Amino acid sequence: MSEIKVPAMGESITEGTVSRWLVKEGETVNQGDVLLELETDKVNIEISAEESGVLEKIVRQEGETVEIGETIGTLSAGTGGGSGASASQPAATEQKQSAPAPEAPTPPPAPVAVAPESSDSSSKTASPSARKLARERGIELDQVQSKDPIGRVYQDDVKTHNTQSVAPSAPPAKAPAAAPSAPAAGGSTYTKPVERQRMSRRRATIAKRLVEAQQTAAMLTTFNEVDMTAIMDVRKRRKDKFKEKHEINLGFMSFFTKAVVGALKKFPTINAEIDGEDVVLKKYYDIGIAVSAKEGLVVPVVRDADRLGFAEIEKSIADLASKARSNTLALSDLQGGTFTITNGGTFGSLLSTPILNTPQVGILGMHKIQLRPVAIDAERMENRPMMYIALSYDHRIIDGSEAVRFLVTVKELLEDPESLLIEG
């Protein structure tokens, strides 16, 4: 019998969650068959059988958190359940032959009175602090009236119940301050419908890291706007030939990636990270591109973006986005990254303040392109396709003037697309 263990999945991953078992106990598997899916903070991992046999036991169930190296199931060597059944049959026969004659049936024991359950066994949903206080004061949670719309009992509800029970002479209230349910037409009550869903491991990790980024970094955001006329003109004139030659569409992301790389070369601190009391200046440009997937936002990385042409950048982004949506990203696709670009404009966002993708110290937010009146000179106004851009940065190592000049550089490079070939 062999143990099924959680494999090592990269230096930054120490645990995962059993997403689902694809094989049931007692089923036969062949070497290489996928046994289960494991969800980690970054990607989903498939764990395969290292040998053929029968899945004897599932040790860790779906939804449980497991650590690297932990046993999550056992697999018996063999060809299938048939051999296991035949092997156990003689033993069962032998046991049957050697077993002593059955004794006379013992009369059932007399019924024993069961003490009433404590407040912890109540069917009511309650917060841990409410349950603790109820135990200390000897209060049954079923008797506590909740002010919560969905009936959850909190510590204040227990305190209020205790006060009312201590003073029995007080007249009963006509109606609760906030009813847990609303009256129906016939005078009965109904519970307002809710649905409780457990966060996926990835969503919980995203939430944790976003909060950590706001708590640990001195994050500020500066804004500017870009006139997209020149880029849209280039795309209009060149898109057909570009696709014919490179078999990929000419999008906006390649322009923005090139502009970001050009600006990072002028302001290297924004391509750095903080390590204790040191600033680590990175001399390479691995640009993270935020992609919305089913389980939440992921940031795959375009490696060495400064060495890539427009077509190579577009192909890399398209490939990574496809992997993200099909949940086939590898850890190597997500690790590292020196700066991030996120495009809320694809969802219609006009303006936002992106949150840092730590340990990076800068992130650029793109937004919706919208026609707005722009002053061409003192006498002329024109409707131009404008985009707001935002740079969130860590003020611990990046000064405000540096952040503003970085964003101005990005703006100037985008408004003069030919310069991207020179500056890049």
What is the Rg, in whole angstroms, of the alpha carbon atoms belonging to the chain? 32
CB-based burial of residue 165 (10 Å sphere; 0-12 exposed, 13-18 middle, 19+ buried)?
exposed
Three-state SS at 252: coil
Nearest C-alpha neighbor of 324 from the set 339, 344, 355, 302: 302
Nearest C-alpha neighbor of 291 from the set 319, 311, 313, 312: 319
Query: Please, what is the end-to-end C-alpha distance for the chain in angstroms?
Result: 59
Give strand pairing partners of 190: 182
Contact 387, 367 (CB under 8 A): yes
- How far apart, in Å, are the Cα atoms of 134 and each of 124, 154, 176? 12, 10, 20
Identify the active-site residue in 33, 306, 399, 416: 399
**Active-site residue 399, yes or no?**
yes
**Active-site residue 367, yes or no?**
no
Identify the active-site residue in 120, 142, 233, 395: 395
- Distance from chain centroid for Cα 307: 31
CA distance 227 to 231: 9
**Range 395-398, long-range pairs (CB < 8 A, 24+ positions):** 395/217, 395/218, 395/219, 395/220, 396/217, 396/218, 396/274, 396/361, 397/269, 397/272, 397/274, 397/279, 397/361, 398/269, 398/270, 398/361, 398/362
**Range 132-141, long-range pairs (CB < 8 A, 24+ positions):** 133/158, 133/159, 134/158, 137/162, 139/165
Residues with catalytic function = 395, 399
